[in-house]
């Protein structure tokens, strides 16, 4: 339809042009016009002929991709690592629909709302595809009046963003979220979220990383003391958020020229957002003449101090840095925010003093792989009585992780297996299909992963080749002699070692044992 | 937005009525109309006030649902069983995007196409949510020029159907598909699909079931010999498809009154579609004076015979029945079709003679839990050169399975655990948070699933209660005395047995051993 649409569009254009030029000619007859129209309609009919042979555009939607079996095998491994960590920390899991009522998403994402996919109004409710898993989570809590839960949710989300697929950015992508909802003592769940990021990124072995931490209240306090008008906090905040991609000079230009901030205010912000450190920086800023004037900022700074004390007990301060340039664009954050970035290979690793957490040098980030923060107001936005449920959570940027793991697999000599088949049931001569099907039935019924070729008389060589190609370790070979002798030959594909098993009720258990060796 | 939309809709209606009645009054002034409009607009503004306190409708979209942790635990178990079976049969897995180009889905679903969800045209491509996993699979094969693969795909699909959620029918629901693509010898992959259905339904232990088998060619041949005009095959076929829900009289009425079939033709169809059996019925129909006139029907009947011979080797004929009333509505089937139904509890189980597979008595079906068939033409519809890739597959109706498993879990005394936590780290006195966080860090780092309460000073009782509620088997208790003695108390929650472990580098390994007992 797409192709046809484009073509008939062209036809439409050409018609318009031609009719206009005909109009400008004197002496043109209605008959001539009719003839032109008939020709064009015929052309159109040819292009859009209803004979079932439409010329399809064979592609996935822009910004999306299929996963082939190799990618799925990698994806399964990554998910197992991440889910293993979430379960280790006692999380339950939930699932929500891929679309929500449009109103559920309205007013939650600030400037990013334009990236939401809407469904066509086909009668009934107005729906949108979920933009993240956090808003559906908050809706779920409010709807079910849940006041505390520790849950993970792994599912796809949708953003009409400009895809940069080579860098692992898609319009359809997975999010892996872990969130803790409930009224608890300050910074304990927040610290656990960072511990989880640390565990996952270490286990996935993606290379060195750093976790930047800041607090929405420190940002807001900073904006206030730097003289940003109240109504510009959010928009200036999303400009600050660009600091991981743009140099300060560009960011400043946007603040002053586009957002109308005074040069002086921008310069003051510039000074703060260059600061990085650990607990010591929080202490220093609590003494800072300007910053200490903001009650909000002080609350945030005290919490950063407390957070770092728990992070020390969790043994993760080596990777965590308090970074005032971290802003995260989403509207709903109210406290601690954080983001994990991989630091480029070859660049000196972040070394931090466990006491103050200051990084020894600036490392170049190659992009965010996890992020999150505290959002104490979001659930209340859904509750009819505005009852708040404090929440903190983290989202793992799994698509980027997939990309890296795929590159690693490609570079490695080891072949990625896409099935788990243990035995191939093969035949050495013709007309043994019936015997093979009987044997494989025994194996399947005993829980053994087994394959047989879907041919009556495959060649032994092609059966063995299939084993080698797909990494099947064992092959059970039936032949006329074996059938006469009442045995099954079991061969180890890699070494070509063979054993004969007496084919009786014990054969299957013997093969079972062999598959476990 | 939904609520507001509904209200403003009402307002709109009232305006229309009022304006009409105003029109009918003589002497009405423009000023009066303006006043009315202003009042109504004010009312609308109040309803849709932009103060961030919108009154949300707290619900999921029509026909969709959330899964809570208990449901997810059940879902995980069901998926593990099904994926285990697919892997046992050597399947790989793939994934495709949730939406496809609209044209990809066009012309694949016959009368059901109206149930496809379209995305709003927000610029760019026209997109639709996937309606099943089969069409995306065919698109994937054609796009990647894959000529043979055995794959499973578990993902959600979308249909704007009338939801019947109590019966496990949703607008968003999972499909679990297993398909074999490739040019193979007849009926071997087809028989494996039925073997898989048999294995899965047996393992899930859902009660007795029956797998109905038919062939699209037998249906078409039957329609031809009964005098159905060629152009009515598809529409009559979808009427026959209703036989599992409607009595024959109703179905006949639709054929004659709605679809314009002659009474005579309908009656002849009625005779055939009442037939059920096994290999014997196929043999009988091959001799049938009328049926044997159709080459198509004969090809289908011979394949049914061959299929049953393989099913005997696979030891599954006890549940399979050749049923001429099975029609399945989808356009793309070209050969064997099948559907598994659960037979109601209390009804005598289907007992079949292994030789002829005829069911001993009619059992009442409580709905389809799996279905599929052969579709040799679908991939060719996507290939620019029309190259065919023969396919056969099966889809497990997982939502119905979930419903049944949930009911079973509710009826059972055993509690469904939603986490896998092995140890709770607890304290007997105040001010031990730091010590608890140190211990739990050791446990997490050793891979043990552990939890701690997010309170500085929780009561021991509430910590123990949490263990009982969520089924955590062990609790590691720290107290002042224990810290002095350098020990950790480990208690079995169920029996209250306690052991003291010396808290040193070996403690964690001892706890590890304990969690495995």
Residues of chain B with pLDDT > 90, as a percent, come to 66
Annotated binding residue B333: yes
Sequence-ordered strand ranges (E) for A187-267:
209-215
Question: Distance between CA A97 and CA B163 in Å, rounded?
Answer: 14
- Compute how many other C-beta atoms are within 10 angstroms of the C-beta atom of residue B166: 7
pLDDT classification of B492: cutoffs 50, 70, 90:
very high
CB B105 within 8 A of CB B130: yes
Among candidates B97, B86, B146, which has minimal Cα distance to B383? B146
- Choice among A306-320, A349-363, A419-433, B439-453 with the minimum mean pLDDT: A349-363
Q: In chain A, what residues touch B192 (CB-CB under 8 Å)? A: 454
Round the average pLDDT of chain B to a whole number and report it: 85
Interface test with B, best of A444, A450, A473, A476 (most B CBs within 10 A): A444
Q: Do B246 and B324 contact (CB within 8 A), yes or no?
A: no
**Mean pLDDT (whole number) for B427-451:** 94
Of A58, A120, A188, which is closest to B142 when you measure between CB atoms? A58
Assess whether pLDDT exceeds 60 at residue A290.
yes
d(CA A485, CA A503): 9
CA distance A75 to B362: 46
Q: Is pLDDT at B219 greater than 90 in this prediction?
A: yes
pLDDT at B358 over 60: no
DSSP SS3 for A130: coil
Give dist(CA B150, CA A23) in Å, integer. Answer: 61
Q: Are B306 and B346 in contact (CB under 8 A)?
A: no
Q: Tell me the percentage of chain A whose pLDDT exceeds 70.
A: 81
Distance of CA B308 to the CA centre of its chain: 28
Lay out the sheet containing B336-343: strands in order across.
B92-93, B149-158, B172-181, B391-396, B365-374, B336-343, B209-215, B320-323, B276-277
Q: Which of A194, A193, A355 is nearest to A283 (CA)?
A: A355
Residue among B211, B319, B323, B343 nearest B276 (CA): B323
- Among the residue ranges A51-55, B82-86, B262-266, the one predicted with the least confidence is A51-55
* C-beta pairs of B33-42 under 8 Å, 24+ apart in sequence: B40/B11, B40/B14, B40/B15
Taking CA–CA distances from B114, the nearest residue in chain A reads A122
- Which A residues 192-211 touch B at CB under 8 Å? 192, 195, 199
Distances in whole angstroms, Cα of residue A452 to Cα of each of A398, A467, B500: 36, 11, 55
pLDDT in tens, A167-197: 667 899 999 999 999 999 999 999 999 999 9
Q: Which residue of B has its CA nearest to A93?
A: B69
What per-residue string of b and e applies to A39-54 under the rule 16 or more CB within 10 Å gives b? ebeeebeebbeeeeeb
* B502 close to B487: Cβ distance less than 8 angstroms: yes
Q: What confidence category does residue B116 fall into, taking pLDDT thresholds of 50, 70 and 90?
A: very high
Which position has the higher pLDDT, A47 or A234? Answer: A234
Q: From residue B194, give the alpha-carbon distance in Å to each of A51, B317, B339, B374, B385.
A: 34, 10, 9, 12, 32
- Backbone φ, ψ for residue B425 (5° rounding): -95, 115
The total of other beta-carbon atoms located within 10 Å of residue B242's CB is 15
B79 reaches A (C-beta below 8 A): no
Q: Could you give the CA distance from residue B48 to residue B28 in angstroms, rounded to a whole number?
A: 30
Nearest Cβ partner for A66 among B94, B315, B437: B94
Q: Hey, how many other C-beta atoms are within 10 angstroms of the C-beta on B473?
A: 17
> B256: distance to nearest CA of chain A, Å?
29
- Mean pLDDT check: name the lowest of A489-493, B408-412, B500-504: B500-504
Q: What is the DSSP-derived secondary structure letter of residue B4?
A: H
What integer is the mean pLDDT of B147-151? Answer: 96
**CB spacing of B90 vs A455 below 8 angstroms:** no
Query: Which chain B residues have a beta carbon less than 8 Å from that of A172?
Result: 97-99
Q: What is the pTM of this model?
A: 0.82
Q: Tens digit of pLDDT for each residue in A149-169?
A: 999 999 999 999 887 666 667
User: Do B219 and B237 contact (CB within 8 A), yes or no?
Assistant: yes
Burial class from Cβ neighbours inside 10 Å (0-12, 13-18, 19+) for residue A373 reads buried
Any idea which of A178-187, A507-516, B21-30, B433-442 has the lowest mean pLDDT?
Answer: B21-30
SS3 assignment for B321-382? EEECCCCCCCCCCCCEEEEEEEECCCCCCCCECCCCCCECCCCCEEEEEEEEEECCCHHHHH
At A145, the pLDDT band (50, 70, 90 cuts) reads very high
pLDDT at B315 over 80: yes
pLDDT recorded at residue A218: 97
Residues 309-348 of A with CB under 8 A from B: 310, 313-315
| pLDDT at residue A321, as a whole number | 98
What pLDDT sits at residue A267? Answer: 96
Chain A residues lying within 8 Å of B420, measured CB to CB: 87
List pLDDT tens digits, range A234-280. 889 989 988 888 999 999 999 999 999 999 999 999 999 999 999 99
pLDDT of res. B31: 64
Joined tokens for residue B421:
């936590």
Does the annotation place A133 within a ligand binding site?
A: yes
State mean pLDDT over A433-447. Answer: 94
pLDDT > 50? residue A350: no
Return the sign of the alpha-carbon dihedral for residues B464, B465, B468, B469.
negative
Residue A12 pLDDT: 32
**A89, A122, A313: residue with CB nearest B438:** A313
Q: What is the rounded CA–CA span in Å between residue A75 and residue A295? A: 46
Contact B88 A448 (CB under 8 A): yes
Q: Is B179 annotated as a binding residue?
A: yes
Nearest-angstrom CA–CA distance, A303 and A305: 5
d(CA A217, CA A248): 22
The band of A361, judged by pLDDT with boundaries at 50, 70 and 90, is very low
Give the residue-averaged pLDDT of B374-403.
91
Q: Is pLDDT larger for residue B196 or for residue B24?
A: B196
Helix (H, G, I), strand (E, B) or coil at B65: coil
Per-residue confidence (pLDDT) for residue B7, from 0 to 100: 31
Question: A282: which 2 tokens?
Answer: 């929080």
**In the predicted model, what is the mean pLDDT of chain A?**
85
Predicted confidence (pLDDT) at residue B360 exceeds the cutoff of 70 = no
| Residue B34 pLDDT | 64
What's the alpha-carbon Rg for chain A, to the nearest Å? Answer: 31
Residues A156 and A98: their CA atoms lie apart, in Å, by 8
- pLDDT value of position B56: 62
SS3 B173: strand
Optimal mutation site among A90, A160, A316, A467, interface B, most CBs of chain B within 10 A: A90
- C-alpha distance from B461 to closest chain A C-alpha (Å): 17
Res A21: pLDDT: 39
For the stretch A198-217, pLDDT in tens is: 999 999 999 999 999 999 99
CA distance A447 to chain B (A): 7
Mean pLDDT across A492-516: 76
- Note whether B148 contacts A: Cβ–Cβ < 8 A: no
Contact assessment for residue B444 and residue A89, using Cβ atoms and an 8 Å cutoff = yes
For residue A393, the surrounding DSSP H or E stretch is: strand A391-396
The strand ranges marked E within B73-230 are 92-93, 99-101, 127-129, 149-158, 172-181, 209-215
Choose the closest CB to B94 out of A69, A91, A444. Answer: A69
Angle in degrees, CA A345, A350, A353, rounded to 5: 160
**Tokens representing A11?**
């036809």
pLDDT at res. B30: 60
How many inter-chain contacts (A to B, CB under 8 Å) are there? 271
Region B435-439 average pLDDT: 95
CA dihedral in degrees (A75, A78, A81, A83; nearest 10)?
Answer: -50
Q: Which phi-psi region, left, alpha or beta, contains residue B60 (left: φ > 0; alpha: ψ -120 to 50)?
A: beta
User: At B271, is the pLDDT very low, low, confident or very high (cuts 50, 70, 90)?
Assistant: very high
The alpha carbon of A340 is separated from its chain's Cα centroid by a whole number of angstroms, namely: 14
């Amino acid at each position: 339809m797409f192709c046809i649409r484009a073509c008939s569009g062209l036809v439409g254009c050409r018609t318009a042009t031609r009719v206009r030029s005909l109009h400008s000619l004197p002496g043109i007859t209605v008959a001539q016009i009719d003839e032109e129209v008939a020709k064009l309609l015929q052309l159109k009919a040819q292009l859009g002929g209803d004979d079932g042979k439409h010329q399809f555009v064979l592609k996935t939607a822009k910004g999306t991709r299929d996963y082939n079996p190799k990618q799925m095998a990698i994806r399964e491994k990554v998910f197992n690592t991440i889910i293993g960590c979430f379960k280790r920390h006692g999380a339950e899991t939930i699932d929500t629909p891929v679309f929500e009522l449009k109103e559920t998403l309205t007013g939650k994402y600030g400037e990013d709302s334009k990236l939401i996919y809407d469904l066509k109004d086909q009668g009934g409710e107005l729906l949108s595809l979920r933009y993240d898993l956090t808003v559906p989570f908050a809706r779920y809590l409010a709807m079910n009046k849940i006041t505390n839960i520790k849950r993970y949710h792994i599912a796809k989300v949708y953003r009409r963003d400009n895809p940069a697929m080579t860098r692992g950015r898609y319009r359809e992508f997975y999010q892996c979220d872990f969130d803790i909802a409930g009224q608890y003592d300050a910074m304990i769940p927040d610290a656990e979220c960072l511990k989880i990021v640390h565990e996952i990124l270490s286990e996935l072995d993606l290379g060195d990383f750093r976790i930047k931490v800041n607090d929405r209240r420190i940002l807001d306090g900073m904006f206030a003391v730097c003289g940003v008008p109240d109504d510009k906090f959010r928009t200036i905040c999303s400009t600050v958020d660009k600091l991981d991609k743009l140099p300060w000079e560009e960011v400043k230009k946007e603040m002053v020229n586009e957002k109308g901030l005074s040069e002086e205010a921008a310069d003051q912000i510039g000074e703060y957002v260059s600061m990085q450190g650990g607990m010591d920086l929080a202490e220093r800023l609590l003494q800072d003449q300007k910053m200490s004037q903001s009650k909000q900022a002080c609350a945030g700074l005290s919490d950063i101090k407390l957070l770092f004390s728990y992070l020390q007990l969790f043994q993760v301060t080596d990777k965590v840095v308090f970074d005032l340039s971290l802003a995260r664009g989403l509207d709903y954050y109210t406290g601690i925010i954080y983001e994990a970035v991989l630091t480029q290979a070859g660049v000196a690793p972040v070394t931090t003093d466990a006491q103050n957490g200051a990084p020894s040098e600036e490392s170049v980030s190659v992009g965010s792989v996890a992020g999150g923060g505290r959002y104490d107001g979001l659930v209340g936005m859904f509750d009819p009585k505005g009852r708040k449920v404090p929440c903190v959570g983290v989202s793992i940027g799994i698509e980027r992780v997939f990309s890296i793991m795929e590159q690693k697999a490609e570079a490695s000599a080891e072949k990625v297996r896409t099935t788990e088949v243990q035995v191939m049931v093969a035949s050495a001569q013709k007309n043994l299909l019936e015997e093979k099907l009987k044997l494989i039935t025994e194996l399947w019924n005993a829980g053994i992963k087994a394959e047989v070729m879907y041919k009556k008389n495959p060649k032994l060589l092609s059966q063995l080749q299939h084993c080698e190609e797909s990494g099947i370790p064992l092959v059970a070979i039936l032949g006329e002699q074996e059938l006469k002798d009442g045995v099954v030959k079991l061969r180890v594909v890699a070494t070509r070692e063979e054993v004969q098993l007496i084919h009786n009720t014990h054969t299957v258990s013997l093969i079972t044992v062999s598959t476990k060796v």
